Amino acid sequence: MTASESSPRPVVVVTEGGPHIWAIINALADRVGHVSVILETPESKKRLLLGRARRQGWISAVGQLGTMALTRLGKRFLAGHAARLIGEEKLETEPRPGQAIIHVPSANGPECLQAIGKIKPGAVLLAGCRLLSKDTLANMPCPVLNYHAGIAPKYRGMNGGYWALACGDLQNFGTTVHLVDAGVDTGGVLKQARGKPKRGDSIASYALRQAAFSRDICIEAVNDALAGKLETIDPRLPSRQWYHPTIWSYLWTGLTKRIW
């Protein structure tokens, strides 16, 4: 789509940020038109830990925290691989100069809705932000879509690409753009993309790899929303919500299946 063909109505992306998300945002800006970013403050690790402990128990919560810490450490040691991936796929993983960014404490706070009300977007795309409340969704003035790094509904929740590989389900290493409802990645599926990990990829880089082959479906879905032509599809897959792997299950899977 050329600049002259781009929609006059802006697009809002709500996110906590991250290199793979900026790759998608910059692709949207090139192909769709004006994009404003609402950048929410990430939830504190203490709050995340307490929430997971309530839902899954302390043993699982602490085990997941261990994997998150190991992944963060791995990103430092595997920075060279990530840099090669970014270069090969021509990903722009940083905000561009002049990018409109609005900082808010939470996607569910009044500041977020106020900002969206002022922008008057034709579509809102969630990408790596917290789950929206029913009240927030009810007050959205336009279609709300979500970019999910997994094939829904089979791999809802966290680390969809990793879990597909860990389950031996290589054909479902992919991503989904779906409508947003009150559930966790349960809204109607709009677009899906599937790809393959490459040598050297791991849980630290799957999100970048997935973003590389998912830019087009994000652009297509947002354009459909702007044109009022959203249509859902039925993936005909079972539904399950996944979480971060515990450190012991992650290490076992890596040692036995070579899936890291």
Range of the structural domain that residue 48 is part of: 3-257
Peptide bond into 143 cis (omega under 30): no
Phi, psi of 213 (to 5 degrees): -100, 10
What digits encode the pLDDT tens for the residues 111-127?
999 999 999 999 999 99
**Contact assessment for residue 174 and residue 150, using Cβ atoms and an 8 Å cutoff:** yes
Domain count, the chain: 1
Q: Residue 54: give its domain's CATH number.
A: 3.40.50.170
- The residues that bridge with 219 in the sheet, in sequence order, are none
Mean pLDDT in residue range 218-232: 97
Q: What is the pLDDT of residues 186-203, one digit of tens each?
A: 999 999 999 999 999 999
Beta partners for residue 145, in sequence order: 125, 179
> Could you report the per-residue pLDDT of 30-64, keeping only the tens digit for each?
999 899 999 999 887 777 777 888 888 899 889 98
**155-180 tens-digit pLDDT:** 999 999 999 999 999 999 999 999 99
> Over 106-134, what HEC string results?
CCCCHHHHHHHHHHCCCEEEEECCCCCCH
What local confidence, expressed as pLDDT, does residue 111 receive? 97
DSSP state of 137: H
The full DSSP string for 190-251 is EEEEE----TT--TTTHHHHHHHTTHHHHHHHHHHHHHT----B-------EE-PPPHHHHH
